[in-house]
Chain A
């Protein structure tokens, strides 16, 4: 079953706390992504990972970092979360790095108070 799984689905944190969002895929996809979705802005790419320990900044990487130690797992870390990081975060994966279909998880709704 081809699936991208995100945990948790909902998360509430206080400003200044650390946040860990986790993503897993069971398709042995090389490339994984983190996006955030905000009303009226569509999806914005935070980071892209081409394989284990091969990560690249997307369009809005400031305030975020990522970790990919196994091909099937990709984590998004917010060190000292800010209120403007309240958003819905989506993880996605694709077979390879170019012009391929993305498979998305169901998202994590993060609220930073």
Chain B
């Protein structure tokens, strides 16, 4: 089955700098790649996704890049703010189903 590896288990950046979280996946059939954010003591909530028909997507300060050849995708958070501090999860699913396989999570700390 699909395996998703999230390369950074923790990441610390200074406020205003950019943060980059990298994920790799194994199943070439995967075509849907969402990112979720989890704040302390809460459930996950959706932040951004990308589908395999594009290689870049931006929503305000969030940019997702997808490299299908390398089976790699990444989340870039620009101009970080303290409220960006959270655990971020990447995930992958094949087209036509919502059985997401999640990465292990990255704890992002934004230092004021």
Contact = CB atoms under 8 A, between A and B. Distances in A.
Interface string A52-89: 00000011000000000000000000000000000000
A42 B42 contact: no
Interface residues of B, number: 29
Contact of A97 (B32, B49, B97, B104): B97
A4 interface: yes
Interface residues of A, number: 27
Closest 10 pairs (CB-CB, A-B): A104-B43, A42-B102, A99-B32, A43-B102, A42-B104, A104-B44, A101-B46, A106-B43, A98-B96, A105-B43
Contact of A98 (B1, B89, B97, B103): B97
B105 to A, nearest CB: 6
Contact of B100 (A4, A41, A102, A107): A102
B44 A40 contact: no
Contact of A99 (B42, B46, B95): B95
A99 B93 contact: yes
Nearest to B33: A99
Interface of B: 1, 4, 6, 9, 31-32, 34, 36, 41-46, 49, 51, 89, 93, 95-105
B43 A90 contact: yes
Contacts of B93: 99
Given A90-B43, A99-B98, A42 B32 contact: no
23 contacts: A4-B43, A41-B104, A42-B103, A43-B44, A45-B99, A58-B99, A59-B99, A59-B101, A90-B43, A90-B44, A92-B44, A94-B98, A98-B95, A98-B97, A99-B96, A101-B46, A102-B34, A102-B98, A104-B36, A104-B45, A106-B41, A106-B42, A107-B43
